[in-house]
Amino acid sequence: MVDILKTVAQETGIPHRKVASTIELLDQGNTIPFIARYRKEVTGELDENQIREIEDRVKFHRALAERKADVIRLIDEQGKLTEELRDRINRAAKPTEVEDLYLPYRPKRRTRASMAREKGLEPLAAYLLSFPREGSPEAEAEKYLSDQVPDPDAALQGAMDIVAEMAAEEAEVRQWVRQYTMRNGYLSSKARDAEKDSVYRDYYENYRESVAKIVPHRVLAINRGEREEFLMVSVEVDEERILDWLFRRFIREGVTVELVRKSLADAYKRLVAPAIEREIRNQLTENAEAHAITIFSRNLRSLLLQPPVRGKVVLGVDPAYRTGCKWAVVDETGKLLEIGVVYPTPPQKKVAEAERVFARLIDQYGVEAIICGNGTASRETEQFIADFIKKCGKPDLNYTIVNEAGASVYSASKLAAAEFPDLDVSERSAVSIARRIQDPLAELVKIPPQAIGVGQYQHDIAAKRLEENLEAVVESVVNYVGVDLNTASAPLLSYVAGIKPTVANNIVQYRESNGRFKSRQEVKKVPRLGPKTFEQCAGFLRIMEGETLLDMTPIHPESYDVTHELMKMAGLSLGQIGTGDFRQRLSMLNNAPGEIEAIAGKTGVGVPTLKDIVDSLMRPGRDPREELPPPIFRTDVIAMEDLKPGMQLQGTVRNVTDFGAFVDIGVKRDGLVHISELADRFVRHPLDVVSIGDTVTVWVLSVDIDRGRISLSMKDAAPV
């Protein structure tokens, strides 16, 4: 364990002491959000990303250590373990190195070499590798003739098969070939049928890119093209250079040189090259998936942190053609008031009838915003909504488009069926769309993160790996924002640190049976919510208008006594929380040189925790999402035909990929701001400039109506 700690500290650049204390906290069953927020003194104020990195590296090295122990045991059971081999296995830094060393001892199916050994040809293979200066290999081979070995050529071929396998199984050979191919190889592709058109046409002919330099999204695109049987893909490398290295490594002067040379060429072409190609393709895919997951995770975090639009009665619309546009009215809390369907889009085009329905809803419920999903028929529906707003004479009424990705997944789920048993799938989608603007986080946690669709090539990524990473993002966001214990759904509660789905359901059932929670302490009465779970989750649960005002803050109950002592020293009381005088006096305390450190010394609490307490008292009930720009509401729609080069518009970033950002500017298609048009300076990655949900100013560069493409720029100067 000491070696693992040292290695992780070196890999992460985090001091050994912080790594050791963090691992101890993780091993005790503490969650990452809890450690990052409430154990800053122990970890030296490491953030969630650093703690997660430590956790990942420790898992990797523990698994590697376990595999090393297994390999050593398996070789030892064969009676072939030497101290030198044991030492080499223990010093291996990567799983591939361990497997290379284990390869000669791994039980395998019958091979050409194993069959040759069964025929007694291993001594003849040793003869070939001894490179005798005199004699004839054919004459030597005659010594091994038998019923199974009819002639010298068969004997020599068997011996050569043994030599090939021996060379192919040498760890140093595989490591050198692997490294050389990674540095100097090319990933190439060509069409299976050049006459068959597809989105992979760029990879049909003479496509060749360095293995070391190929960008991740092209790896995933090529993989998909191969999987869909449009492409044939291979790894190309200078074979002569590799064979030359093999010959120099193994061959000496003697009468068996040509036979060994043929054996080594066979070893590379038949055994080593295919295995290394598979490894490299797998490594490229793994790296590309990791990159895609990073992009998806950052996009998902931005989407989940979209600011809620509170206090509005909302009309949600799920657009469609033939089956009509399902609509749902929800009140300020998201409660469903009424649901129905209108047919303003083709083929019915019952516009007047739809306008009468919407007019009644606006008057009856005081609807202040119409929310339209961005799926099929969304732009036709948007045009209807914009025209309706012009006619209805309600100056405060407006609309916006929301990303409805995953709404259908939620609508068909058991959760949606339990929440709205009397509604059909499309009606549930309309409710989900309406709620997405009121509290995006609360609604989006009901959907599997991978179904939200804010990345690139998410369907080409290993599902389990993607799910694990995205679940961590949702957990991080939920705990960063905090959860209202008296309104949160079970899916939302299940992401709170320490709370499992069963306990989340128990919390909701307890609330329904006993009414509102009056304090955080009351949650201890929930079945299966024990002391450890309470410790992990309590600080992330909020109770508005409860028995103590501290329950509406991120201050952990374990720090309540310290908080009271702090306020006493500052001459403040809980009743003053939220007042200007209260904030002013705390601000003076926070800014006074050495004051926080002095109080920390008197109270026996760490400075980081004390600073967090002061910050929480100054902004009780704070929702960090409200500090972000709100969504853009519109009253009119722009057609693609209206766009002209040089036109300046405001839009909302809907997705960010490696090559640019897609921006909703209120027309039928999102426009693309290519990475080269994101800023006047060099941009390494679009996420360094924009995030999902950002409101941005863009200029139209070009419009291709036939292909439905809009090119935009975000550079400071409007394009000429």
DSSP summary character for residue 254: S
Q: How many CA atoms lie within 13 A of 19 on its CB side?
A: 22
Q: Distance (Å, rounded) from C-alpha 257 to C-alpha 128? A: 8
Q: Distance (Å, rounded) from C-alpha 662 to C-alpha 674? A: 9
CB 264 within 8 A of CB 247: yes
How is 622-684 classified by DSSP, letter by letter? --GGGGSPPPPPBSS---GGG--TT-EEEEEEEEEETTEEEEE-SSSSPEEEEGGGS-SS--S
* Structure-derived torsion over alpha carbons of residues 592, 594, 599, 605, reported in degrees to the nearest 10: 120
pLDDT of residue 1: 45
Q: Above pLDDT 70, what percent of the chain?
A: 99
CB atoms within 10 A of CB 280: 18
Q: Distance (Å, rounded) from C-alpha 652 to C-alpha 696? A: 6
DSSP summary character for residue 306: P
Q: Distance (Å, rounded) from C-alpha 532 to C-alpha 52? A: 20
pLDDT of residue 2: 52
User: Please, which residues have CB within 8 angstroms of residue 455's CB and are 6 or more apart in sequence?
Assistant: 292, 293, 295, 296, 299, 300, 655, 657
Q: Tens of pLDDT along 359-398? A: 999 999 999 999 999 888 888 899 999 999 999 988 889 9
Instruction: Measure the CA angle with vertex 206, ends 202 and 212; round to 5°.
Output: 85
Q: Distance (Å, rounded) from C-alpha 343 to C-alpha 574? A: 55
> Tell me, what amino acid is at 633?
F
Of the pLDDT bands very low, low, confident and very high (cuts 50, 70, 90), residue 254 is very high
Q: Tens of pLDDT along 516-548? A: 999 999 999 999 999 999 999 999 999 998 999
Q: Distance (Å, rounded) from C-alpha 461 to C-alpha 450? A: 10
User: Who has greater pLDDT, 407 or 157?
Assistant: 157
pLDDT of residue 495: 96
Place of tokens 């890999």: 11
Distance of CA 120 to the CA centre of its chain: 54
CB 478 within 8 A of CB 492: yes
pLDDT of residue 719: 44
DSSP summary character for residue 286: H
Q: Long-range CB contacts (< 8 A, 24+ apart) of 266-269? A: 266/160, 266/161, 266/164, 267/163, 267/164, 267/165, 267/167, 267/168, 267/173, 268/168, 268/177, 268/239, 268/242, 268/243, 269/239
CB 664 within 8 A of CB 709: no
Q: Whose CA is closest to 519, among 486, 559, 473, 568?
A: 486
CB atoms within 10 A of CB 245: 16
Segment 180-199 mean pLDDT: 94
Of the pLDDT bands very low, low, confident and very high (cuts 50, 70, 90), residue 200 is very high
CB 38 within 8 A of CB 24: no
Q: Tens of pLDDT along 62-110? A: 999 999 999 999 999 999 999 999 999 999 999 999 999 999 999 988 9
Q: In Å, how far are 160, 595, 677 from 591, measured between CA atoms?
A: 80, 8, 42
Q: Radius of gyration over alpha carbons of the chain, in Å?
A: 33
pLDDT at position 456 over 80 = no
Answer whether the bond into residue 347 is a cis peptide, omega within 30°. yes
As beta bridge partners, residue 189 has: 207, 233
List the single range of 282-296, 581-595, 666-680, 701-715 with lowest mean pLDDT: 581-595
As beta bridge partners, residue 713 has: 699
Q: Cα-flanking dihedrals φ and ψ of residue 278, to 5°?
A: -60, -45
Q: Distance (Å, rounded) from C-alpha 99 to C-alpha 89? A: 9
Q: How many CA atoms lie within 13 A of 133 on its CB side?
A: 0
Q: Tens of pLDDT along 573-606? A: 888 887 888 888 888 877 888 888 888 888 888 9
All structural domains of the chain:
2-105 (1.10.10.650), 112-291 (1.10.3500.10), 314-447 (3.30.420.140), 512-627 (1.10.150.310), 640-713 (2.40.50.140)
Numbers of helices and strands, H then E, in the chain = 30, 15
Q: Whose CA is closest to 523, among 486, 474, 561, 482?
A: 486
pLDDT of residue 664: 87
Query: Is residue 369 within a helix (H) or strand (E), and if so which, with residue range?
Result: strand 369-373
Of the pLDDT bands very low, low, confident and very high (cuts 50, 70, 90), residue 405 is confident
Q: In Å, how far are 197, 496, 497, 597 from 477, measured between CA atoms?
A: 43, 10, 11, 30
User: Who has greater pLDDT, 121 or 419?
Assistant: 121
Q: Distance (Å, rounded) from C-alpha 268 to C-alpha 281? A: 17
pLDDT of residue 718: 47
pLDDT of residue 574: 83
User: What is the three-state SS of 420-466?
Assistant: CCCCCHHHHHHHHHHHHHHCHHHHHCCCCHHHCCCCCCHHHCCHHHH
> Tell me, what amino acid is at 583?
R
Of the pLDDT bands very low, low, confident and very high (cuts 50, 70, 90), residue 509 is very high
Q: Buried (b) or exposed (e) across 292-328, using 16+ Cβ within 10 A?
A: bbebbbbbbbbbbbbbbbeebbbbbbbbbeeebbbbb
pLDDT of residue 717: 53
Distance of CA 141 to the CA centre of its chain: 60
CB atoms within 10 A of CB 484: 18
Segment 682-709 mean pLDDT: 91
pLDDT of residue 609: 93
* Token duo for residue 329: 């009215």
Average pLDDT, the chain: 92
pLDDT at position 668 over 80 = no
Q: Whose CA is closest to 227, among 468, 18, 459?
A: 459
Segment 657-664 mean pLDDT: 91
Q: Cα-flanking dihedrals φ and ψ of residue 180, to 5°?
A: -65, -45
Of the pLDDT bands very low, low, confident and very high (cuts 50, 70, 90), residue 57 is very high
Instruction: Work out the widest C-alpha separation in the chain, in whole angstroms.
Output: 106
Whether the CA torsion 373, 374, 380, 382 is positive or negative: it is positive
Segment 595-619 mean pLDDT: 89
List the single range of 53-57, 305-309, 498-502, 665-669 with lowest mean pLDDT: 665-669
pLDDT at position 339 over 90 = yes
